[in-house]
């Protein structure tokens, strides 16, 4: 298996979106999607430049299917943690797709408002993908107020 070798930013400091998309397209081949026939590959850069990938893992009990973003976030945590800085996910045709609603929440937790998300309409910050998100700050706010 070929592993895409990318560095997260080019000499000018711009995100290597082509490299990230290539990694997501490779990850599609790892998907386990016998029920939907809809493999998904996801890829992200972490704030230290690490490249993480994930693919969906389905289950005979359909509802417990893991989206590609689930294995992606596990890869982030298990390889040392940190924050996502740039994210993309693709279908079997290699086309960019939007993360589902649940996965937007997962991305918010580990990337926050500044995470850059590749969409069919271009790269946008996470605030456009999940406006008025619920996040860790909401928990802190009540915790602090109850002290
Ligand atoms: N899927 C993902 O992996 N990520 C998304 O953000 C959208 C949906 C998967 C779940 C399921 O295995 C298949 O796509 C069809 O819904």
Centre of ligand 1 to C-alpha 68, Å, is 7
Express the helix, strand and coil content of the chain in percent, nearest 5 each: 35, 20, 45
Strand order in the sheet with 84-90: 51-55, 41-46, 84-90, 116-119, 122-125
Atom of ligand 1 nearest to the CA of 35: 12
- Residues with beta carbon inside 6 Å of ligand 1? 33, 36, 38, 40, 56, 58, 65, 67-69, 89, 99-100, 103
Atom of ligand 1 nearest to the CA of 100: 6
Structural domain range at position 6: 2-145
Select which of 26, 58, 69, 95 is catalytic.
69
- Predicted local distance difference test score (pLDDT) of residue 13: 73
The count of domains in the chain is 1
CATH number, position 62: 3.40.140.10
Known catalytic residue: 128?
A: no
| pLDDT one-digit tens code per residue, 67-98 | 999 999 999 999 999 999 999 999 999 999 99
Residues of the chain scoring pLDDT < 70: 1-6, 11
Size (the chain), residues? 147
- Predicted local distance difference test score (pLDDT) of residue 67: 98
C-alpha–C-alpha distance, residues 146 and 142, integer Å? 6
């Amino acid at each position: 298996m070929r592993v895409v070798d990318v560095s997260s930013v080019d000499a000018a400091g711009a995100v290597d979106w082509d490299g990230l998309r290539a990694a997501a397209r490779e990850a599609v081949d790892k998907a386990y999607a016998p029920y939907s026939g809809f493999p998904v590959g996801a890829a992200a850069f972490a704030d230290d430049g690490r490249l993480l990938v994930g693919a969906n893992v389905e289950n005979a009990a359909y509802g417990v299917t893991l989206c590609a973003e689930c294995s992606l976030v596990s890869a982030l945590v298990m390889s040392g943690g940190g924050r996502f800085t740039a994210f993309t996910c693709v279908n079997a045709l290699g086309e960019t797709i939007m993360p589902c609603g649940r996965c937007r929440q997962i991305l918010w937790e580990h990337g926050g408002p500044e995470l850059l998300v590749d969409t069919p309409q271009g790269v946008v910050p996470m605030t456009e993908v999940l406006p008025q998100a619920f996040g860790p700050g909401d928990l802190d706010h009540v915790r602090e107020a109850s002290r």
